[in-house]
């Protein structure tokens, strides 16, 4: 039986872009474009099986070996530090992790800063490096509301176009780190399926170079 490569793709527009990169790299699976409810697709002939998973779950599938490889945002990798190999920066899904607040916010260093975020570890790390005392308020979404309602002083969140901040009268005060999508691999899979995985890495790198020329 042919060795199958299990690939976790982030559901959504980014995942579709990623699939196209894999397709061009010789791992096509045409049925994936026809059905929008199914979550698992395979092409036995080329030896690949794709699954659509929630973007923030990709690293879990890969870390535990349910997927051999996958594509996850650097934000998730920094926040959860999964035990995976980061093989390639795909240069897509680009955004930044930033501190944002109301335009008139002034940091009073005498007071503990209240920070609302989904990214507790990233926020903690950032303020620890500055020696700033903070109180983390962990939220699961719509973080932008927190400073408006006075729940927090600032937020630490992803900013892509900046539209969400603007529409909520917030602005970036500080960029923490640029973010992009990364190709990741399960550590054991990388040993046992290295030929297949390295083929993907080199094919996709070549595509990216061709695009940049
Ligand atoms: C993310 C992030 C911001 C928004 C930024 O939210 O949390 O709210 O995108 O994008 P923009 O700068 O282009 O406006 P997401 O859509 O992932 O939903 P969430 O509220 O669950 O975080």
How large is the average pLDDT for residues 20-45?
91
pLDDT in the model for residue 133:
95
Q: How buried is 50 (Cβ within 10 angstroms: 0-12 exposed, 13-18 middle, 19+ buried)?
A: buried
Looking at per-residue pLDDT, the higher value among 105 and 213 belongs to 105
pLDDT in the model for residue 120:
98
User: What are 117's two structure tokens?
Assistant: 């975020």
3-state helix, strand, coil in the chain (%, to 5): 35, 30, 35
pLDDT grade, residue 28 (50/70/90)? very high
CA-closest residue to ligand 1 atom 5: 159
Name which of 42, 87, 49, 76 is nearest 187 in CA terms: 87
Q: Coil, strand or helix: which one is 116? A: strand
pLDDT grade, residue 196 (50/70/90)? very high
pLDDT digits (tens, 9 = 90+) for 59-114: 999 999 999 999 999 999 999 999 999 999 999 999 999 999 999 999 999 999 99
pLDDT in the model for residue 96:
98
* CB atoms near residue 130 (< 10 Å): 9
pLDDT grade, residue 3 (50/70/90)? confident
Q: How buried is 17 (Cβ within 10 angstroms: 0-12 exposed, 13-18 middle, 19+ buried)?
A: middle
Task: Check if 12 has its Cβ closer than 6 Å to any atom of ligand 1.
Answer: no
pLDDT in the model for residue 138:
98
Chain-centroid distance, C-alpha 20: 18
How large is the average pLDDT for residues 23-37?
90
Name which of 109, 16, 34 is nearest 71 in CA terms: 16
Measured in Å, residue 48 CA sits from the centre of ligand 1 at 31
- Atom of ligand 1 at shortest range from CA of 166: 14
Using CA atoms, how far residue 46 sits from 2, 16, 70, in Å, is: 9, 19, 17
Lateral strand order in the sheet of 95-102 = 134-138, 113-117, 154-159, 95-102, 170-179
pLDDT digits (tens, 9 = 90+) for 171-184: 999 999 999 999 99
pLDDT in the model for residue 2:
77
User: What are 174's two structure tokens?
Assistant: 């500080």
pLDDT in the model for residue 56:
95
From 57, 72, 122, 164, the mutation candidate for ligand 1 (largest count of ligand atoms within 8 A of CB) is 164
pLDDT grade, residue 36 (50/70/90)? confident
């Amino acid at each position: 039986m042919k060795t199958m490569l299990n690939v976790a793709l982030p559901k959504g527009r980014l995942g579709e872009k990623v699939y196209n990169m894999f397709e061009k790299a010789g791992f096509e699976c045409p049925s994936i474009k026809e059905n929008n409810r199914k979550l698992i697709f395979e092409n036995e002939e080329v030896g690949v099986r794709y699954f659509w998973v929630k973007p923030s779950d990709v690293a879990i599938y890969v870390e535990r070996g349910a997927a051999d490889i996958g594509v996850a945002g650097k934000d998730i990798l920094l926040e959860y530090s999964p035990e995976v190999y980061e093989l390639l920066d795909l240069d897509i899904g680009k955004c930044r992790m930033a501190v944002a607040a109301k335009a008139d916010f002034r940091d009073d260093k005498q007071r503990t800063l209240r920070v609302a975020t989904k990214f507790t570890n990233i926020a903690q790390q950032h303020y620890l490096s500055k020696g700033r005392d903070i109180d983390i308020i962990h939220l699961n979404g719509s973080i932008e509301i927190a400073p408006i309602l006075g729940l927090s002083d600032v937020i630490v969140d992803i900013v892509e176009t900046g539209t969400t901040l603007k529409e909520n009268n917030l602005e970036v005060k500080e960029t923490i780190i640029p973010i992009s999508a990364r190709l990741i691999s399960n550590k054991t899979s990388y040993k046992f399926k290295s030929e297949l995985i390295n083929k993907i890495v080199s094919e996709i790198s070549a595509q990216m170079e061709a695009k940049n020329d």
